[in-house]
Structure 1
């Protein structure tokens, strides 16, 4: 214990109906690798989540950095030297690589923003990684995200490094790279917690081990005192006489079930092979050599040339529907991201591709669905409370079994499986291997892609090793060995172990941080074009008075748009901004008849009212966990009621002196517009250049990952609600400068206008992104549309037609961009 860098003592954690951890104690010593092992659901990830601060224990203590804690926050854990790499990378999708790394670093290790890009580039180069710091996390593969999180952990110079299934998404090359980094850390006396299902990795790098089963410690000690079989027996609680089922010999006279003739596509070229019924063939090679792209192409996911035949009939590879109709089933490795409906039930996931069979009359037949689902999962030992349990709540092994059950229900001729045991515990692996062999014995041809050479040796009748997009070697019979598979792969990529070239730097035409500014430029261009067209119809449009009114009106939309942007960016929506504007005009109207000092007091009170409304909204969302739509709708109704009580009818006209003062212009530009633009620039700077802005974007992009990154999501949402209330109050003050009267019915339509402004500005309504500068440009465009209608001789209905058209265009443009990006990836 004296040399312990991390101690977890008496940790207990209970979820509804499940005791995840029961009085678990672990001590991790400096300069050693401590493996924490167990099947999925044993409590490993919960234990390290408690150490990292993302999970709160019911009881027990955490010893870190010489201090003892009953619970610890993620940011505090990082500051005390703990870095963690999660099984599913905790990187908010909307952030850039640079922002994500900066957010992951403890404050004491974080470089200044100005030189952070060059610092990160040098750090990546030092580690042998070629990654574009300006790339967005959402554009990266799972492997790339893992490498970035590992690099961020290394940059934090940790005293304790927790690695949760770090090699599941990595190929042999990246795994070797990671082990080299681990050796360097051990030489620096760093303590490492290593969680994995790969027992050979434990034997290779770990010194100590702790084995969990059903939330309890069932074994601990020195790794050298155990054999691999003994470790597996501790994990699963029973003896495994055999891991892989016996292979079956095919009759030589069998006709090929699957034939691939000179198939070429992105990452591979001129591949030919044939597969007999009942055979299992494996695809191997160093990651990034085309085998993954080849497998996906067989499933209809990619642009290809060449031919594929099933039972002698040619199959179109243009889309997955064509291959599915031909009896080819593809199970991707990214189960939740690409194969399953995470929030839907086990039954719904199993039945998804067989819905027509389940409803032959066109109406739901729940009894038939249950019968078919039970038949599909029979013998697979799916661990689920009921068939209505959301599939996301299951362990990785059970999720994979649900996918296999879905495939079996479809009676496939050919089954393509990508990483069948990724994130799957030892016991479930045996069951999956048995299932695949039984499926092959029934006459199905199975193609398996795996980065585990031992898995390929034990399961496959034939293994095809890829190198640089072509077949390097074909191994059959007794030649299918781990040594032969690894040797063929390594010999074809000599000299590439030390540099992880599988992560290319991305050339981006527009850096993510500047996309909003490009959108703003487009909106300004449209505004100018509309202004010029209107001027040709009526030159009065450009009169000083009209331009002044237009700009003052735009400032209202800009401020209310900014209010909505901050809330939407953090993953919510504010339906109360229009009501806050109405209440603000009412409150300030009681101060419009006095002197400047009295009016200034009214301004302060109005802002305080907006702040109060924001506080109420924020607390309803963060403390009472009300959905933002419900919370802000409730406050909106209440605010309108208060405004009606204060001003049953419009009144409270401002004096001429007050109206003159607040209507001040600078070079013909209303002072209120200058204020709105300054506020826009300030918010843009906060969003793009500060830790608070990174927290806003992370919270809205993915709250769970943001929390693991050390972001307090409730705090971010509370701050956004407070800022929205203040900005809406400012918008109400600006509106009062135009009307000079308090009216409880004014400003209500601005809630919809605020949503329109952020959509046109290119902000994601799902949270995580948006540009304050683009919102300012959108506000100017929307007010120009409204102002120009009378000069163009058009009715007010055209305002809604034009706004709707712009919203539609704003929604379609990202879709086109995504399509073009995918097309470039295929090329």
Structure 2
């Protein structure tokens, strides 16, 4: 018999207090689709995470490409032919699409970066996708991100493809497109692991299945040997009627709870409908035809004209706050991204929109909060250890139940729900359907948007089918069935390959590299304007001596800015930068009176000192998990103390020969500035044009996704802190070339200056982005500001005012850009 493509044997994985998997064995044959089924928390994602290398098992083996592993790294799994598409796409938000795809590809299948954009464009075209390779991942919709990750997996020509809930964010057309790709892979003898909650999909495309419950295998075999009811019974551990709650009859003469009259907005127009007491209305259509924008507009997120009446009274829905005051509650499909506070508790999430109710006096009333939370989740069977458990640690179904409980607590008149059961298991779905039907029967107008036609059929009394922004079908009664819903949507829109899946509907979005270059250009222009204005006031500003001193001082700021940039890019911060500069200068001061060889030894020791400090910072952060701000604060204090022990008082004057050598100028430009700019260009190249640079940006953008992409996050952070320490030591050399002495108390302000430089340069303080060229331009601008003050007759306090103004400008500019971005781009 042919050897299985993937064998997971005896896999056990335990988390604190939870056994996620217990002695699980799964063998996936070549040329077949093997479905892994189970409720949320059953262990499915943990199992495939172990196969892909993002999760380390406690015991068991992974058999892949004829080799056996007790654990495997993501990049090794990819090189051995395994590709995975995660339920939440593993794409670092700050990367461009092309850089993200390159990280996902195995080394042997990765094209050269120079032609990667053209290669990816051609690959997308072959698949029928219209996505700009230079778009930023963070600007994509969840649907677009899924399609990109699927495309990246296909580009790797895998032997094993793992699909974790691949259709949850896709519409019917994209799902058919995906199934066509799966058939092509099966024809090439590729093994496919398919995880889904959608049992009809399993019946349609899978040949074999394995069912997990509570981390154990409770069933396996050929799909043809099971009917849907039997599969559901295996999943939930009991016989379960998969039917929906009975639909309510509407009383004659009932007045509408919600009326929408000729509502228009970005992506839709002329929407009119009403919801009677007891009714649930559904929004359907091929994804991207305006139904999502329409639902959000009713919730206060984008209407431009028309009327909305709630309980017979006209209500403003021009803003989220106005809609909420009118009694409209909106629950987005992206629960953690848009609706919930992941690190906050179940209690805090449940009461968050009802603070006037749970805190009537304005002060925390914890017993009242607990009582209200229990009332809200009553009947929803929320599985949580305590009400203080962070909501992000719950399964998708339980998160959705908490969100529904929150809506119930706010006592809405209208409830708008986007994808109510996305990522929710079979058992939880039935409970959510019953909850929504009960809410409707209590008099709340319920409007549901779903990409699942079966769900709309079973749950809704009427379904509006959208096409090209307008309602093309208004189905009711017996017309509300899967065939009619899907048929209306398909007949009203283009069919065939997936088209117009564009990450840039209105205009091309530049990647991070181009934005950094533009930012650098703006800063250089500001520098020139300021220098010109200063020259008009005092021509002495342009004297060779002043310019030489200015440029040498700018070199120091550029180097410390680059040091800070590398650390911040990986999601940290380095408070020891200034201290390392001072220590480097102090070390050099002991070698300034000797010859060139002796001074070269001092340079080597200074660089070594910076490297050691960076290594210590990195180990504290990566090995001991100490927050970067605390780790680097501790090392900063220790480094300053060391420098003060070495030089209690300023001293160690450099010889004239040494000062002349390290103060060399070329065409009036200090050599140290040329070195700093050369390092800036090299850093820019590494960050933007190498795998290392993509890894650094991915690690800071989203560590979990970066790990799934095959990035060693700890290694990236360690590299960044070491490089920062060395760059700070080089800055100490430049500082020593200007002062000629060692002073342990100097350079401390450079830590704050380094942060100022990267903020002005447009780098995100949360990690993942930044341009070395912009940092170099920012360093030059900051020094020109300082130098110009005396020539302009201004006091030193203006230095801080001007720096603060530039920091504020740099922080506000992206917010302005986002506000001006057309709604259609979101």
Alignment of 1:393 onto 2:393? yes
- Note the C-alpha offset of 1:478: 1.4
Which region of structure 1 is more displaced relative to structure 2, 381-390 or 464-473? Answer: 464-473
Tell me the equivalent position of 2:639: 639
- Note the C-alpha offset of 1:3: 2.8
Gaps of 5+ in 2: none
Separation of aligned partners in 1, 2:761 and 2:267: 37
Separation of aligned partners in 2, 1:258 and 1:336: 28
Separation of aligned partners in 2, 1:210 and 1:360: 52
Which region of structure 1 is more displaced relative to structure 2, 559-568 or 262-271? Answer: 262-271
Separation of aligned partners in 2, 1:63 and 1:481: 45
Alignment of 1:612 onto 2:635? no
- Note the C-alpha offset of 1:541: 0.8
Separation of aligned partners in 1, 2:509 and 2:223: 51
1:762-781 to structure 2, matched below 5 A, reads 762-781=762-781
Separation of aligned partners in 1, 2:509 and 2:705: 28
- Note the C-alpha offset of 1:501: 2.4
Separation of aligned partners in 2, 1:151 and 1:33: 18
Tell me the equivalent position of 1:272: 272
Separation of aligned partners in 2, 1:405 and 1:493: 37
Which region of structure 1 is more displaced relative to structure 2, 372-381 or 600-609? Answer: 600-609
Q: 1:360 to 1:479 in 2, by over 3 A?
A: same
Tell me the equivalent position of 1:503: 502
Tell me the equivalent position of 1:419: 419
Tell me the equivalent position of 1:208: 208
Tell me the equivalent position of 1:164: 164
- SS in structure 2 opposite 1:304? strand
- SS in structure 2 opposite 1:193? strand
Separation of aligned partners in 1, 2:511 and 2:51: 36
- SS in structure 1 opposite 2:303? coil
Per-residue deviation, residues 358-406 of structure 1 (Å, max 9, x unmatched): 1111110000000000000000000100000000000110011001101
Alignment of 1:11 onto 2:11? yes
Alignment of 1:704 onto 2:704? yes
8 A Cα contact 2:300 2:322, kept in partner? yes
Alignment of 1:127 onto 2:114? no
Separation of aligned partners in 2, 1:292 and 1:499: 18
8 A Cα contact 1:304 1:317, kept in partner? no
Separation of aligned partners in 2, 1:242 and 1:633: 58
- SS in structure 1 opposite 2:5? strand
Per-residue deviation, residues 82-136 of structure 1 (Å, max 9, x unmatched): 0000000000000000000000000000000111111000000000000000000
Tell me the equivalent position of 2:405: 405
Tell me the equivalent position of 1:439: 439
1:691-770 to structure 2, matched below 5 A, reads 691-770=691-770
- Note the C-alpha offset of 1:653: 0.6
- SS in structure 2 opposite 1:4? coil
8 A Cα contact 2:267 2:824, kept in partner? no
Per-residue deviation, residues 40-61 of structure 1 (Å, max 9, x unmatched): 0000000000000000000000
- SS in structure 2 opposite 1:586? helix
TM-score scaled by structure 1? 0.99
- Note the C-alpha offset of 1:821: 1.6
Tell me the equivalent position of 2:140: 140
Separation of aligned partners in 2, 1:3 and 1:435: 48
Which region of structure 1 is more displaced relative to structure 2, 315-324 or 392-401? Answer: 315-324
Tell me the equivalent position of 2:342: 342
- Note the C-alpha offset of 1:242: 4.5
8 A Cα contact 2:98 2:117, kept in partner? yes
Tell me the equivalent position of 2:30: 30
8 A Cα contact 2:244 2:458, kept in partner? yes
Per-residue deviation, residues 150-199 of structure 1 (Å, max 9, x unmatched): 00000000000000000000000000000000000000000000000000
- SS in structure 2 opposite 1:766? coil
- Note the C-alpha offset of 1:818: 1.2
Separation of aligned partners in 2, 1:117 and 1:215: 42
- Note the C-alpha offset of 1:320: 1.1
- SS in structure 1 opposite 2:281? strand
Per-residue deviation, residues 327-370 of structure 1 (Å, max 9, x unmatched): 11111111000111111100001100001111111110000000
Tell me the equivalent position of 1:523: 523
1:545-624 to structure 2, matched below 5 A, reads 545-624=545-624
Per-residue deviation, residues 226-259 of structure 1 (Å, max 9, x unmatched): 0011101110111113531111110121011111
Separation of aligned partners in 2, 1:511 and 1:705: 19
- Note the C-alpha offset of 1:499: 2.8
Separation of aligned partners in 2, 1:509 and 1:164: 29
- Note the C-alpha offset of 1:790: 1.2
Tell me the equivalent position of 1:376: 376
Tell me the equivalent position of 1:492: 492
Separation of aligned partners in 1, 2:501 and 2:260: 26
- Note the C-alpha offset of 1:605: 1.2
Per-residue deviation, residues 772-795 of structure 1 (Å, max 9, x unmatched): 000001110111111111111222
8 A Cα contact 1:287 1:502, kept in partner? no
8 A Cα contact 1:177 1:500, kept in partner? no
Separation of aligned partners in 2, 1:400 and 1:17: 23
Separation of aligned partners in 2, 1:413 and 1:660: 79
8 A Cα contact 1:219 1:234, kept in partner? yes
8 A Cα contact 2:568 2:700, kept in partner? yes
8 A Cα contact 2:336 2:392, kept in partner? yes
Tell me the equivalent position of 1:326: 326
Q: 1:533 to 1:243 in 2, by over 3 A?
A: same
Tell me the equivalent position of 1:299: 299
Separation of aligned partners in 1, 2:784 and 2:654: 27
Per-residue deviation, residues 186-224 of structure 1 (Å, max 9, x unmatched): 000000000000000000000000000000000000000
- Note the C-alpha offset of 1:500: 3.2
- Note the C-alpha offset of 1:823: 4.8
- SS in structure 1 opposite 2:785? helix
Separation of aligned partners in 1, 2:325 and 2:406: 15
Gaps of 5+ in 1: none
Separation of aligned partners in 1, 2:625 and 2:760: 29
Aligned structure 1 segments of 4 or more residues deviating by more than 6 angstroms: none
Separation of aligned partners in 2, 1:87 and 1:288: 20
- Note the C-alpha offset of 1:505: 4.3
Tell me the equivalent position of 1:317: 317
Per-residue deviation, residues 513-557 of structure 1 (Å, max 9, x unmatched): 111111111111111111111112211111000000000000000
8 A Cα contact 2:259 2:310, kept in partner? yes
8 A Cα contact 2:264 2:271, kept in partner? yes
Separation of aligned partners in 2, 1:633 and 1:39: 45
The number of aligned residues is: 825
8 A Cα contact 2:132 2:502, kept in partner? no
Separation of aligned partners in 2, 1:588 and 1:241: 79
- Note the C-alpha offset of 1:825: 3.7
Separation of aligned partners in 2, 1:52 and 1:271: 46
Q: 1:823 to 1:36 in 2, by over 3 A?
A: closer
Separation of aligned partners in 1, 2:651 and 2:179: 74
8 A Cα contact 1:130 1:505, kept in partner? no
